[in-house]
Amino acid sequence: MKASIHLLTLALLPTLLFAGTLPTSTPPNILWITSEDNSAEWLACYGNPHSQTPHLDQLAREGFQYMHTYANAPVCAPSRSTWITGMHALSTGTHHMRSTYAIPEDIPFYPEILQQQGYFTGNAEKKDYNIASPERFKRMWNNPGSVDWNALQQNQPFFQIININTSHESSAFHGLDTTQHDPQNTTLPPYYPDHPTIRKNIARYHDSIRQMDQQVGNILQHIEHLNLAENTLIIYCSDHGGIMPRSKRFLFQNSLHCPLIIRIPENYKTLWPAPTPGQKIDRLVSFIDMPKTWLSLTGAPIPQQMQGRIFLGHQTEPEPTHHFAFRGRADERIENARAICNKHYLYIRNYMPQLPWMQHLEYLWRIPAMQAWQAAINSGTANELQRRFLEPKTFTEELYDMQNDPHNLHNLAHDPAHQIPLQKLRHALREQQLTHHDSGLMPESEIARLTQHHNTTIHDLIRNPQHYPLPQLLDAADLALTQQPTNLPALRQHLTHSNTGIRYWGIFGCFLQNDITGAQLALNDPSHEIRALAAWTLIRAGKTEQGLPILNQLIQQESYALLTLLNIVDALDNQAQPLIPTLESLSLEEQYTEKQNYPLNMRNHLLQKLTPRTL
């Protein structure tokens, strides 16, 4: 252990930016409590009139409540990947759900640095960091299992994470008929049908939030009982927003806005962000800021790779003007979107505008409220707003006034009165994508093949302009997404480019305009992703007899782009029925682990959806 830490220290010497200075001679303990899947809107101290969260409310009165804290990713594994490195998951290629791609060994994990600083590190017990480094994960926690209070008391200073999964999405799967919370004492957002099952599901989640709050209270009692309160910083936040349908996994306000409460004892009052506890802090905080801030609070050196800003303590850095967020594949569903916001407006850029916001997802559809919502749409009882989120987006840009439209229902992107904030946020988003090396401008399967071919990591590949010319990829994407017929000659020209990413945006632009000429040019492309899009273009343009055999052939050979192909088949609806025998012949059961069975989930969903039912 000591030898490996010493070697890591030597490896990090060129990357350390600065070391902190502690406010007292005694470094603080840090207890970081995280709850899963709940946005700020679920807590009473953030304004929910139905919630019962007395312990968190009290913590807010004793500490400092941050009002503008946002996750960089709206689902757990990419969000935690961002935390463990202090780098955007999009910047390391780990933004797709449970992709577990490797990152360079010289990128430190913040607990490793804390260990070097003399901290005892504990992680109870979330391990979903989305990075393939099992040996390093074993080493960076002195105690990777259940919290050991005696060990904490005997090994100070400590940095201990306690993860609470009571509020996780899975808590909404069952128990709807035995809720303590009254289903009528709930407020439904307008995009939900007013259905008894949906009300019960919301009530069930209120129960989960109350239970989570009680667990927080128990943790705080342990700290008091062990006489650790006076030298321990208490941090509470969720790992992203959620959890009811149309929150987790998306880039809306309730998908990203998270609670953050920090209690700092009197011994460390020089760290206070306001003159007295109990105050609400207006600063914009991103999850990317947290690892850098925690290191600063301990006096540890800060790796220069870390991309956030210190928001608390003696080394506090200027407040950012924007928060940057991203969405990639979530389980079996492929999606690609970016978001940026300030305290007023939220801007979303959709790189797959042909898709619905909410695609059928095996895990999400376990929630009874989601099933009831889908049933209301199928039966024709849902209104236009309630149908909207399960229909294709059709547009690339979204702009929401978060202050006056907290549900993000009214897209202002085409409102002449809002063109100035739209243009500012559009420009700011591109700057963030360039600064942080957006790795999502190529299909996941293609960039994975490139890293294998060049024996490198996604992190290193996307920083090589020969393999990943990011400015040109962004330009090509913009050209495709404008959907202007006058751009078709340029898009067809992209189809002859040597770079797979440029060719991908060429065919994507042709696809959005049902351009048969472009599709014909791409049918023999070496990229399976491009050929699949070309085939889909032909089908959309009425050339089913040409496009469907290409999809069938790629599926039969279990293409490396199989998940993309299955997502396309789903979008084809009944047009894909001739592919049923090929889908039935796929042998996927033994190829995928329980947590990564995404092609199997899609295959099973498609067979259920497409197979004709007999009475």
CATH of the domain at 489: 1.25.10
* Domain presence at residue 386: no
Cα atoms in the 13 Å half-sphere on the side-chain side of 480: 31
pLDDT in tens, 459-488: 999 999 999 999 999 999 999 999 999 999
Per the listing, tokens 């259905």 go with: 195
Please, are residues 28 and 300 in contact by the beta-carbon 8 Å criterion? no
- What's the full length of the chain, in residues? 615
* Domain end call among 327, 346, 361: 327
Strands ordered across the beta sheet of 397-401: 323-327, 337-341, 345-350, 397-401
Residue 431 belongs to some domain of the structure: no
**Contact present, 360 and 605 (Cβ < 8 Å):** yes
Which of helix, strand or coil describes residue 160?
strand
- Name residues of the chain where pLDDT drops below 50: 1-16, 18-21, 23, 595
Return the pLDDT at 614. Answer: 57
For residues 458 and 315, membership in a common domain is answered with no
Q: Which residues contact 409 (CB under 8 A, 6 or more apart)?
A: 190, 191, 385, 400
Supply angle C-alpha 66, 67, 68, rounded to 5: 100
Asked whether residue 551 is domain-assigned, the answer is yes
Residue 533 lies in a domain: yes
User: Of 467, 38, 14, nearest to 257 (Cα)?
Assistant: 38
Indicate the residue among 277, 295, 327 that finishes a domain: 327
Domain count, the chain: 2
Q: Which helix (H) or strand (E) holds 478?
A: helix 470-481
Is residue 425 situated within a structural domain? no
Rounded distance, CA 70 to CA 287, Å? 6
Write out pLDDT tens, residues 544-592.
999 999 999 999 999 999 999 999 999 999 999 999 999 999 988 766 5
Largest Cα separation within the chain, whole Å, is 78
Cβ contact 534:540 at 8 Å:
no
Residues 6+ apart with CB under 8 A from 147: 122, 124, 160, 162
Per-position DSSP letters for 373-431, written without gaps between them: HHHHHHHT-S-HHHHHTTSB---SEEEEETTT-TT--S--TT-GGGHHHHHHHHHHHHH
Q: How far apart are CA 127 and CA 606, in angstroms?
A: 32
- Pairing state of beta strands 64-70 and 280-286? parallel
Q: Which of 37, 228, 85 is nearest to 147 (CA)?
A: 228
Same domain? For 159 and 298 the reply is yes
User: Residue 511 sits in which domain range?
Assistant: 451-468+477-610
pLDDT for residue 597: 85
Asked whether residue 505 is assigned to any structural domain, the reply reads yes
Q: Give the list of residues 6+ apart from residue 97 with CB closer than 8 angstroms, or none.
A: 75, 77, 78, 130, 328, 329, 330, 331
What is each CA distance from 242 to 188, 227, 233, 252, 364, in whole angstroms? Answer: 14, 35, 26, 10, 11
Q: Is residue 432 part of a domain?
A: no
Q: Is residue 50 part of a domain?
A: yes
* Domain harbouring 319, CATH code: 3.40.720.10
Report the C-alpha gap between 300 and 113 in whole angstroms.
Answer: 7
- Cα separation, 484 vs 369, in Å, equals 39
- Residue 119 has a pLDDT of 98
Instruction: Enter the pTM of the model.
Output: 0.94
Residues sharing a CB contact under 8 Å with residue 405, sequence separation 6 or more, in sequence order:
none
The residue among 280, 311, 327 that closes a domain is: 327
